[in-house]
A and B are shown apart, each in its own frame.
Chain A
Amino acid sequence: MSAGTPPLTGPPNPQAKALNCPSCGAAITLRSFQQAVTVVCDSCHSILDAKDPNLQILQKFAVAVGEGHPLIPLGTRGKMRGVDYEVIGFQRRSIKVEGIRYDWHEYLLFNPYKGFRYLTEYQGHWNDVVVCKELPLISSSALSSMPATANYFGEIYKHFQTSDANTNFVLGEFPWQVRVGEHATVTDYVRPPRMLSSEKTGNEVSWSLGEYMYGADIWKAFNLSGSPPEAIGVYENQPSPVSANVKYVWASFGIFLALLLALMIFFDVTARKELVFHSSYQVIPGESKTEASFVTDIFELKGRTSNVEVTTSANVRNNWIYLNYALINQNTGQAWDFGREVSFYSGYDSDGSWSEGSDHDSVVVPSVPPGHYYLRIEPETTPRHPNISYSVDVKRDVPVSMFFLLAFLALLVPAVLISFRALAFERSRWSESDHPPIKLSQSEDDN
């Protein structure tokens, strides 16, 4: 301001205003300065015209004893997203679905610079809500069974519920004309942890965007004593505790599966798979059992300590042969004993043809050091057997797929379990919506 002009005193700084209810004389504080349009007397439940110097009574409503007092008292200040807000208004609203009334609470928050925002609470589930300045784009699905969607800043929200909301109880002050008994059509679209809600009164539609909050965080933000009410059930935009894990676990599964396949290929390529011994034998009928044991020629197992695969093939047809094997190190005398059976049966019955068993058998002996070895073989079979010829193959260093199969299952099981948990959570969420999931079985209906 240029020299010579006396300083002007502007209007005084706005301050919270103390008033008295014209109906009962109780003290009323106006916390949102001139923003208040209606204010409610806590003592006699008169809704007053805050714009009127005489606080004209607009409506009086009856309240049952001990009915719905706010969990966060009016006048409490807290920090939401780094900004101080004061709780200035409270209302309880309800919807009726299939004859059952569901109540929720709305807290109106105020900051003289940043304006208004809301906290909503339903059975311990909280939402931080701001009014949308932009219009979401609604598209109803071509398939009538699919819920409509709302596109808000490129993100798709799914229709959850449309219902008629009724205002049952109000307290504090509001920057709009609030009345008990007022109806609005409320439509929710969800994209956890957010939800879009539209409220339609007359032909005016307003939109708000909510973000799910945990009671503990509200208690911390407003420095409240005690603990928040426990959250009951699954709320429409409650983030699934496992849905983030589902993506993670399947991503990990994919990565480890790729690693596993790479390892399998590596071991398969680098395995020697060397045939070190092959021989054929016959069990001749009538030969004494005690003398059946014999030893094979000596063969060499090369390379590092590794496995040995012994494959037995026999021309069994509706009979069996059992072989007691010992893999023996020629130098140290160390022996690996194992017994293998080869049997094959087939026939016809009322269901058609059947078969059981196989004409060959493989076994892998792990961790066999290099050296010179031989096999001691003792075949057994039924005394009435016909001639059975069989052959024995010894392979050094074969790839073993069993380990990989176990590793695959160890990866798969947690991924499937977490996916099932996530699915159960989503079913529980949507069971409360206008689009409940199809019941899995009839028995659920009976319960």
Chain B
Amino acid sequence: MTQPVSNCPNCGAKIVFRWSSCVQTVCQYCKSILVRTDVDLTKVGQVADLPPDSSPIQLNTEGIYRNKAFVVAGRILYEYDQGGWNEWHIVMNDGASAWLSDAQDEYAISFAAAAQNLPSASQIEVGQQYTWSNQRYTLSVITPAHYRGVEGELPFQYWDKTDVTFADFRTESGKFATLDYSDEQPTLYLGEFVEFDDLKLKNLRQFEGWS
């Protein structure tokens, strides 16, 4: 597969896309946020330096999920009152886009899901139950979070956010759901918790004093 190549409209550096359906990317050199149109790249903003974080995952980390190889193409970093977490945008080898979240080294993989009857931000309460795709989910925590920054390639435009709300749902199995209230219309993500070892991750970050 030949990867699409372009140049940063701000600094001229070469931009190599890992994923052909990429909508937004960040220039690795000048940190310009670039939105891809049919013809070219447009700078829409600038990422301040991301705060240091200690996720063992980084851009270009590779892994395997359900027998499909994936590569980490981008991420969104959030903060809340108990710390921060990363939503790593992963691209499967069949072109599908998914999210590998790393919250204090608890890992989960989810996919955007289409569903009707999504509750609005004012309707949700901890303990409520919803059924999506024949699975019952229990709302376990509502997290008011703060958008902190982006890196790499994303499947949508996402760069001018401030405060966002997430509702996390759990089940009696390893499945979970998240409702993302970043936009007017909530977005549903359905997925499951995964074990670090099962992902067979390569190209991880190194930690001083740890092997």
Contacts and interface: CB of A to CB of B under 8 A. Distances in A.
Which of A2, A33, A204 has its CB near the most chain B CB atoms (within 10 A)?
A33
Contacts of B106: 115, 131, 133
Most A C-beta atoms less than 10 A away, residue of B29, B83, B173: B83
A14 B52 contact: yes
Given A112-B105, A113-B196, A177-B81, 14 more contacts: A2-B16, A10-B58, A13-B206, A13-B208, A14-B205, A15-B209, A32-B54, A35-B83, A35-B104, A111-B210, A114-B105, A135-B170, A151-B172, A203-B127
Contacts of A383: none
A142 interface: no
A184 to B, nearest CB: 15
Given A112-B207, A112-B210, A134-B173, A175 B82 contact: yes
SS of B interface (majority): loop
B113 interface: no
B207 A14 contact: yes
Contact of A11 (B52, B176, B193): B52
A175 B58 contact: no
Interface string B84-105: 1000000000000000000011
Contacts of A115: 104-106, 196
A205 B16 CA distance: 45
A197 to B, nearest CB: 16
A34 B54 contact: yes
A136 B172 contact: yes
A175 B104 contact: yes
Nearest to B126: A203
B172 A134 contact: yes
Contact of A5 (B13, B81, B108, B126): B13
B143 to A, nearest CB: 10
B204 interface: yes
Given A116-B105, A135-B140, A14 B54 contact: yes
Interface in B39-93: 51-54, 56, 58, 81-84
Contact of A2 (B5, B83, B138): B5
Interface string A171-202: 00001110000000000000000000000000
Contacts of A51: 83
Contacts of A84: 210
A362 to B, nearest CB: 67
A361 to B, nearest CB: 70
A398 interface: no
A332 to B, nearest CB: 82
Interface residues of A, number: 37
Given A10-B58, A34-B52, A37-B83, A16 B104 contact: no
Chain A interface, >50% SS class? loop
A13 B207 CA distance: 5
B14 interface: yes
Contacts of A203: 126-127
A32 B208 CA distance: 11
A51 B81 CA distance: 10
A135 B171 contact: yes
A413 interface: no
Chain A CB count within 10 A is highest, among B28, B174, B205, for B205
A8 interface: yes
Interface string A35-56: 1010000000000000100000
B140 A205 contact: yes
B141 interface: yes
A114 B82 contact: no
A2 B4 CA distance: 12
Contacts of A116: 104-105
B210 A175 contact: no
A132 to B, nearest CB: 9
B56 to A, nearest CB: 5
B19 to A, nearest CB: 16
Given A5-B14, A16-B208, A51-B83, A134 B54 contact: no
In order of increasing CB-CB distance, the 7 nearest A-B pairs are A115-B105, A33-B54, A15-B208, A133-B193, A34-B54, A112-B207, A14-B54
Contacts of A4: 14
Interface string A128-150: 00010111110000000000000
Contacts of A232: none
Given A84-B210, A112-B56, A135-B171, A37 B205 contact: no
A15 B179 CA distance: 34
B197 to A, nearest CB: 8
Contacts of A33: 52, 54, 207
Contacts of B170: 133-135
B16 A113 contact: no
A358 B129 CA distance: 78
Contacts of A34: 51-54, 83-84
A1 interface: yes
Contacts of B127: 203
A135 B193 CA distance: 12
Contacts of B207: 13-15, 33, 112
A151 B5 CA distance: 53
Interface string B13-41: 11010000000000011000000000000
Contacts of B138: 135
